[in-house]
Structure 1
Amino acid sequence: MQFKNPEILYFLFALVLPILVHLFQLRRFKTHYFTNVRFLKTVSIASRKSATLKKWLLLACRLLLVTTLVIAFAQPYFVAKDAKNASNELYIILDNSFSMQAKGKHGPLLKRAVQELLENIPENTRFSLLTNTDTYWDTSIGSIKSSLQNLNYSALAFDLERQLTKIKLHKTPHNKDIVIITDALGLQNNALQNSNPEDALYFIIPEPEQKNNSAIDSVYIHKEVDRFYEINVSLSNYGTNTDPLAVAIYNQNQLLAKRQVRLDSNPKTVTFSIPKAAFHGYVSIQDSGLTYDNTYYFTISEPKKNNIIALGDPAKSNFLKRIYTPEEFVFQAIPLAALDYNLLQAQDVLILNELEDLPQALQTTLVSFVTKGGTLIFIPSDKSSVATNNLFLKNFGNLQFLKKETTEKKVTQIHFNHPLFKDVFQSKVKNFQYPSLKSSFVLSAAGTTALSNNDQSSFLTTITQKTAKVYVFAGALNPQNSNFQQSPLIVPTFYKMGISNSNQALKAFTVGATNQYTVTTTSAKDAVLTVKNKNEQSIPIQQIGSNKVQLFFTEYPQQAGNFDVLKQNKKIDALSFNYARSESDLSPNNANPLRDYKTSSTIEAIYDRLQSDRTDTQIWKWFVIFALLLLLCETAIIRFLK
């Protein structure tokens, strides 16, 4: 037991006073005369014994009364078992990612956690709150009550390591109590490596009642049939529920088609046919699981023909004519000698098809073309030199031709993750009829390889510019040097390169990812394009070209939906954004990294534990009660004991 005011204990010397009063009774006795003194001796002896007992009882009560009063004013207490951390600052990390939409016993996990915070944290408690998107340093529950009640789900996945790093960098002279509220979905084993060993970590892991969930993973154009698009919708099912699912497709909120689908395979593909026209809508499902992945927004622009020019011998470009058909492209094969340089800036794609010489004027024009967002495809001539090619490629990056080889090579590897081949193949093809090259150049490793040879050298490499792409082949593609023109691989390769700068493809970007999009329009240098829908408006980073504006998206927009691209408040284009489907599967809850930390089921339990472990036990009130009882005892002794 310890005392807050130990100096008060010196008043215990006051115990001498009752003793002195007891020893020196200054009471005067009166003389009484009795006519009969026969029983005087007996009465005198009895009275003396009773008086002596009464005096000793009164002395004991008074000594105890003074003692309890002195101790009460000294304020005794028992030290808390965790008193050293009593000055710790409180930090709360709240996971508001989409997986917290899952329903627990008392409703959605996030909403329940917010309600517990509001109910159990006292108004005067200072703490800091960190969510996936917002940070509130040194605040109180009253100050952020409205923000908590309106807290939205975040498209950012929960990153405990990043949150702990932010707290660690928040300098303070005190240690920290960190309460982490998360469902632990996708929690990494190294997530706690940035935590301070001196800080106390407490985890609350709310559990959903059921983990069944269905999600729309992606939507893409499967093929074009006459005047229709065949749209494939890819669905995933997590858990054990296989009940039929209603899938509907809307254009401008107008229902186009709806059907019941049984998820008997995973993933399940559903095909819809929609008119080959501008589309600005979404696909939706209804299930009992998470809601964020039940809608997939996408946009298809009005069909527009891409302008493509192939520079070189027109006879060598006949294979390109069969790929870039008049229905979808405006294709021209022009010899270099007959080229009108004014045509180049109006093109979407330029193909240098085996040019033996690259005039400086052409190089300057091509650099300007790529800078403004055009796509360039470079097919080297087997008669060109390494030095000439490198001098040209130096304008676009560090990719270089190292040497020329005459050893025959075969293309044996498709990099399926490359944007050229994304969604082209339903599965990774292994028995493909791969083409070969008789002579080729060895490319440096500066670009992104799309196709590789059997010796791991690059056959097709991409140089990514800020607003465009440059595709570089390792050798000539004429029939004398390669059988690539007879390979089934040539069509998807050149077709995807031809539409890589096109707005005609299905447009569905991911919220929070780095995205870029080209708008065909003329714009003054001080003018800006705005991306807007009824809920959100933002101005993306943009680079202005002669007839195009390149838009770059990173942090904004923050919500999924269909958006219009506005120029001076007039709609000129449209595009769509969706949330990443990284949290659709609720099963991989990873609580292994938390096994060495304190966990609890409720915020109330953790807060009560902190209060009881850190708060001293005050017992001075008990001594005040004892003093009152002793005072009552003394009064009773004086009154009733004769």
Structure 2
Amino acid sequence: MQFKNPEILYFLTLLIIPIIVHLFQLQKFIKVPFTNVAFLQKLAQQTRKSSRIKKWLILSTRMLLLTAIIVAFSQPYFSNKTASQTQHNFIYLDNSLSTNTKGIKGNLLQIAAQEIIENASEKDVYSLQTNSNFYDRIDKKELKNILLQVKETSKKIDLATILLKFDSKTKNKTNTSNNTVLISDLQNTYKNEFTNVTPPFSAIKLESVIKNNISIDSVFVNNSNANNFTLNVLIKNQGEAKSNIPIAVYNNNKLISKLSSSFKKDTLETIQFKIQNLPEFNGKIALNFSDTFAFDNVFFFTLKNDQKINVLSIGNKANFLAKIYTKNEFNLTESTVQNTNYNSILKQQLIILNEVENISEILSKKIIEFSKNGGILVIIPHKNLNLKAYNSLFKNLNLRKIQPKKIDTLKITNINFNHPLFQNVFSKKVTNFQYPTVQHYYPITSNNTSTIVAFENGTSFISEIKNRENKVFWISSSLDIKNSNFINSPLIVPVFYNFGKLSFKHPKLFYRIASENIIDIEINTEKDKVLKISNSENSFIPLQQKFQNKVSITTKEQPLKSGFYNIIKDADTIQKIAFNYAKEESLLNFLDLNELKETNKNITVSNSVADVFKKINKKNKVHWLWKWFLSLAIVSLLLEILILKFYKP
């Protein structure tokens, strides 16, 4: 038993006063002489004894009356928390896309929100975390208004972050009792976020009644020619085999192709469509099938065939460059130092200094300006380069020095397969190819150098040198056939082809929502002008970095809905791009609550929102006892009246 006002109990010490009064209140008797007092003496003894019993009874009832009144004013109660404590309930409601599906009672997200509203106590304080927002210290009325408007979102938030936030909110909060409730379908990646030191909480798992799902995983294009291309659609089937699933491809809203396909149990299959080549294709793929998730039955992509990468080679003519930088993907310009149009340098995405013996001051200034504006520079040294001029260029690019030429026949043996330059180039690591050789080379010293290809002695043959302002690829040896046979090596094609591809990030077929995406837009903008991304429902200004000949856009938090979006400068649409939801949201992989309970003793698991809140309310309910003590006081008073009236000693 606890007391809301325990200090009032000190008044119980005053009960000693009526006791003292009773003990010292002696009754005086008047003596009356009689001739025969034997009988009267016996009667007087009996009367005095009865009177004493009556007084003790009256004292007891009065003591009980006063005690009951004092205890009643101290407001006694039974509860797991003190009456003065505020009950603070922290609730995480998972409103990710995967919760927008059908459960036993209806839509998982809507039913969970409704059950919170129905079972939350009016007296408690709440903090609500969704994937979209955090609402701190709100009452039930505010909680209800928020939950009635909650919608699914593509935003993700990890449970470790949620628990850390809840824990930080409970610190330094005196006179507060806290409960944490996590309501989620516990999809995919939550397993490793719970440990033995995780604060106690109640986990409620939202479960769908449908246990199969078919989704569009991704798309890619190949076998492209002047007339058509092959669109490859990856379809992921989870659950039982499915037959005759209609799949349609649209260009904007125009139906281009349609077919039906069957899928085996738990497979990832590729469906191919032959599509006519168009300068611009805004594709939408649609599956017509009712399954667990509806959001992954539509997929968007864009294809633009008229964009090419500008490559400028300055110096000696190299036949291999024209074979690699073909006209369907690149605009290759080759010129000598004397014939270079310096005004065109800033319009390039990739510049190759191909065995230039001496770098003039004007060329050096243009190269520096190009590099600091985000262009990629590849330097192939001349066999007899002007070391002073090269190091002057390197100094202005904030790079380290080139060392004097070393004459030594070395094999090129080591490949850094993890470098982005070789991403998706090799199906496996190659160690037994015919090694190309060099006769002499120029080593470089730099702390920010990443080796791409190396000699047998570990010295770098091709290296990437980068800092905040620029990115330079240094090939340490002349590629003249008299010095090296590297141009006859199978490595020459992927190395130089990817130099070009890395120099400009054309918009991909599609981008993923809630992921970091970097999009390069080939455009010149004024200082005070910004690009924005918009569609008919949403518009936002993304992070962007301006260069001389392009703007690099970064998206992460926005957009939140899949579909086509326009990149806009002023009122003009520069480019159209497509966003799709993260494919992880389509997975039917969920955490087993029984396994969670076994490995985490601080966690209480349940399948019912109502049950958890009923337990919380019952646990924290205050059972007041002051009414019972007040009733006892009244009973004591009635007993005293009855004793005084009917008890005759």
| TM-score, L = length of structure 1 | 0.79
Q: Which residue of 2 aligns with 1:250?
A: 250
Answer yes or no: is 1:607 the counterpart of 2:606: no
Distance 1:499 1:129, change over 3 A: same
User: What are the equivalent positions in structure 2 for 1:171-190 lying under 5 Å apart?
Assistant: 172-174=172-174, 176-184=178-186, 185-187=188-190, 189=192
1:278 Cα deviation after fit: 0.7
Matching residue of 2:126 = 127
SS of the residue corresponding to residue 473 of structure 2 reads: strand
Deviation at 1:386, TM superposition (A): 7.1
Change (3 A) 1:10 1:90: same
Q: Write out aligned runs for 1:576-587 (5 A).
A: 576-587=578-589
Percent identity of paired positions between Structure 1 and Structure 2: 28
Which of 576, 593, 600 is residue 595 of structure 1 equivalent to? 600
Q: For 1:589, what is the secondary structure of its paired residue?
A: coil
Q: Is the 8 A contact 2:184 2:204 kept in 1?
A: yes
Matched, 1:309 2:296: no
Alignment partner of 2:166: what SS? Answer: helix
Decide whether the 8 Å contact of 1:511 with 1:559 is kept in 2.
yes
Contact kept? 2:100, 2:107, Cα under 8 Å = yes
- Structure 1 counterpart of 2:236: 236
> Could you tell me which amino acid in structure 1 is paired with residue 192 of structure 2?
N
Aligned-residue CA RMSD (Å): 4.4
Correspondence for 1:159 = 158
Q: Which amino acid aligns with 1:600?
A: V
2:570 corresponds to which letter in structure 1?
Q
TM-superposed CA distance for 1:320, in Å, is 1.0
**Which deviates further from its counterpart, 207-216 or 563-572?**
207-216
Once the 2 structures are TM-superposed, how far is the Cα of residue 383 of structure 1 from its aligned partner?
Answer: 3.8
Q: Deviations over 1:324-352 (max 9, x none)?
A: 23344332221112222122123232211
SS in 2 for 1:506: coil
Q: Aligned letter for 2:473? A: Y
Q: Distance in 2 between matches of 1:329 and 1:68?
A: 98
Please tell me the residue identity of whatever aligns with 1:606. V
2:322 is aligned with 1:325: no
Per-residue deviation at 1:296?
A: 3.2
Distance 1:478 1:141 in 2: 78
Q: 1:361 aligns to what? A: 362
Count of aligned pairs between the two proteins? 607
Decide which moves more: 534-543 or 116-125: 116-125
Whole-angstrom CA distance in 2 between matches of 1:455 and 1:270:
48
* Map of 2:214 onto structure 1: 214
SS in 2 for 1:189: helix
Q: Does 2:221 match 1:224?
A: no
For residues 95 and 569 of structure 1, do their structure 2 counterparts lie closer, same or farther at Cα, with a shift above 3 Å needed?
same
- Counterpart AA for 1:149: L
Please, which runs of 5 or more residues in structure 1 have no aligned partner? 25-51
| TM-aligned CA deviation for residue 318 of structure 1 | 0.6
User: Per-residue deviation at 1:258?
Assistant: 2.7
Task: State the match for 2:44 in structure 1.
Answer: none
Please tell me whether the aligned partners of residues 413 and 453 of structure 1 are also in contact (alpha carbons under 8 angstroms): no
Q: Indicate which of 265, 278, 281 corresponds to 2:280.
A: 278
Q: 1:555 aligns with which of 529, 532, 557?
A: 557
The answer to whether the 8 Å contact 1:396/1:465 transfers is: no
CA shift in 2, pair 1:101/1:422, >3 Å: farther
Shift of 1:530: 1.5
In structure 1, C-alpha distance between the alignment counterparts of 2:400 and 2:121, rounded to whole Å: 62
Shift of 1:466: 6.6
Aligned to 1:343: 344
CA offsets, 1:286-316, max 9 Å, x none? 45133444433322224134332211111xx
Separation (CA, whole Å) in 2 of partners of 1:267 and 1:526: 48
Distance 1:530 1:122, change over 3 A: same
Match of 1:621 in 2: 627
When residues 109 and 360 of structure 1 are mapped into structure 2, their CA distance, relative to the original with a 3 A threshold, is farther
Q: Is the 8 A contact 2:95 2:131 kept in 1?
A: yes
Counterpart of 2:46 in structure 1 is: none
Q: Does 1:380 align with 2:385?
A: no
User: Is the 8 Å Cα contact of residues 373 and 550 (structure 1) preserved in structure 2?
Assistant: no
Cα separation, partners in 2 of 1:2 and 1:232, compared to 1, 3 Å: closer
The SS at the match of 2:135 is: strand
Are residue 571 (structure 1) and residue 573 (structure 2) matched? Answer: yes
Change (3 A) 1:413 1:547: closer
Q: In structure 1, how many angstroms separate the alpha carbons of the residues matched to 2:481 and 2:577?
A: 41
Other structure's SS at 1:364 match = helix
Pick the aligned partner of 1:497 from 496, 499, 504. 499
Mark the CA change 1:505 to 1:130 in structure 2 (over 3 Å): closer, same or farther: closer
TM-score (norm 2): 0.78
How is 1:471-510 mapped onto 2 (pairs within 5 angstroms)?
A: 471-502=473-504, 506-510=508-512
What are the residue-to-residue correspondences of 1:41-56 with 2, within 5 Å? none
Q: How does 1:511-522 map to 2 (within 5 A)?
A: 511-522=513-524
Task: Please tell me whether the aligned partners of residues 345 and 369 of structure 1 are also in contact (alpha carbons under 8 angstroms).
Answer: yes
C-alpha contact (below 8 Å) 2:448/2:467 kept by paired residues: no
Classify 1:483/1:508 alpha carbon distance in 2 versus 1 (closer, same or farther; 3 Å). farther
